[in-house]
């Protein structure tokens, strides 16, 4: 929960460690000066003094409240500076903002999580939350895809999930290499062997817009209901609290009403796949 009372005031946060995940992705282990609790799916804003701020979804376990991990892909001005941070540096953190995934509504259901590219970051936090109460779901499926094996975020950790008894997992890459023993093809090619009652199941999709578009079309073709498909809308944001209008999707604000939305609520809004 946001404790400072002023949602615009960043909390001083120490960089405890920086982990290089892939050539363009790093994970920061952060220690905010104030304890921050978040629900999986909520996001925070990181402020780099003198440069600016940008929204990120924590990739760590929500039940750990003193240290937060954030996984950042380098794409522009703020993320470039974040990649230059070192152990001991101080940055700002605001949040959490938005609504988390409605995990209580998923209980007693079959759950399918589909991730692509850097979309694994928020999904890692979601999977930790699901694992913590895995007995409460009828079954849990994870399907993940990325371009190449060396770009697969958290590869070792994901591969270790194959040993979990409470999870059915399959991973794919667009183009394989000598180290890759799994499927080769788009993530939609590994959805067919998800054996569940699609009409009562829940699907959570997070990744690049084009991947979410084709995954959603496939899920509907399989029989998932439009209000049982949750999509993560990582729109450009500024205030994070429903004031500036930067993140508008139709009648919704992604920062306040999302960032995850049921497909039934946002379908027909052209910008969702942009």
Ligand X SMILES: Cc1cc2nc3c(=O)[nH]c(=O)nc-3n(C[C@H](O)[C@H](O)[C@H](O)COP(=O)(O)OP(=O)(O)OC[C@H]3O[C@@H](n4cnc5c(N)ncnc54)[C@H](O)[C@@H]3O)c2cc1C
> Any contact of residue 21 with ligand X (CB under 6 A)?
no
Q: Which is nearer to ligand X, 72 or 241 (CB)?
A: 72
Chosen from ligand X, ligand FES, none, partner binding at 246 (C-beta under 5 to 8 Å by type): ligand FES
DSSP H stretches of helix in the chain: 77-83, 103-106, 120-132, 155-160, 209-222, 254-257, 263-266
> Any contact of residue 246 with ligand FES (CB under 6 A)?
yes
Distance of CA 134 to the CA centre of its chain: 19
* Options 237, 249, 260, 272; binder of ligand FES; rule CB under 6 A: 237
CB 122 within 8 A of CB 59: yes
Q: Which is nearer to ligand X, 83 or 107 (CB)?
A: 83
Site string for ligand X, 30-69 (x = CB under 6 A): -------------x----------xxxx------------
Q: Which is nearer to ligand X, 80 or 177 (CB)?
A: 80
Rounded least distance, CB 262 to ligand X, Å: 16
Instruction: Enter the tokens of residue 106.
Output: 């998923």
Beta strands 90-97; 110-116: pairing state: unpaired
What is the DSSP-derived secondary structure letter of residue 242? Answer: S
* Options 68, 85, 121, 212; binder of ligand X; rule CB under 6 A: 121
Instruction: Enter the tokens of residue 6.
Output: 């002023």
**Three-point CA angle 220, 269, 251, nearest 5°:** 120
Q: Which is nearer to ligand FES, 78 or 140 (CB)?
A: 78
SS3 category, 166: coil
Q: How far apart are the first and last CA of the chain?
A: 31
What is each CA distance from 70 to 30, 189, 274, in whole angstroms? 8, 29, 24
> Any contact of residue 72 with ligand X (CB under 6 A)?
yes
> Any contact of residue 243 with ligand FES (CB under 6 A)?
yes
> Any contact of residue 87 with ligand X (CB under 6 A)?
no
> Residues interacting with ligand X, by CB under 6 A?
43, 54-57, 71-73, 75-79, 118, 121-122, 234-237, 259
> Residues interacting with ligand FES, by CB under 6 A?
237-240, 242-247, 253, 255
């Amino acid at each position: 929960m946001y404790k400072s009372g002023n949602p615009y005031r960043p909390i001083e946060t120490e960089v405890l460690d920086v982990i290089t995940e892939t050539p363009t992705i790093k994970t920061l282990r952060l220690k905010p000066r104030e304890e921050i609790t978040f629900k999986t799916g909520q996001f925070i804003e990181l402020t780099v003094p003198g440069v600016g701020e940008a929204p990120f979804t924590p990739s760590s376990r929500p039940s750990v409240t003193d240290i937060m991990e954030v996984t950042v892909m380098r794409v522009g001005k703020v993320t470039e500076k974040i990649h230059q941070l070192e152990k001991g540096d101080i940055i700002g953190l605001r949040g959490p903002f938005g609504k988390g995934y409605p995990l209580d509504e998923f209980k007693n259901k079959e759950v399918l999580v589909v991730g692509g590219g850097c979309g694994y970051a928020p999904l890692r936090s979601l999977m930790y939350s699901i694992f913590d109460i895995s007995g409460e779901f009828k079954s849990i499926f994870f399907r993940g895809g990325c371009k190449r094996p060396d770009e697969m975020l958290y590869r070792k950790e994901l591969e270790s999930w194959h040993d979990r008894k409470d999870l059915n997992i399959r991973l794919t890459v667009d183009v394989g290499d000598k180290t890759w023993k799994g499927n080769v093809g788009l993530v939609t090619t590994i959805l067919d062997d998800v054996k569940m009652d699609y009409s009562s199941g829940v699907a959570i999709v997070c990744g690049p817009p084009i991947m979410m578009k084709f995954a959603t079309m496939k899920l509907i073709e399989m029989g998932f209901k439009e209000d049982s498909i949750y999509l993560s809308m990582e729109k450009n944001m500024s205030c994070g609290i429903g004031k500036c209008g930067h993140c508008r999707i139709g009648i919704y604000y992604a920062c306040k009403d999302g960032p995850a939305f049921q497909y039934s609520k946002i379908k027909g809004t052209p910008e969702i796949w942009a």
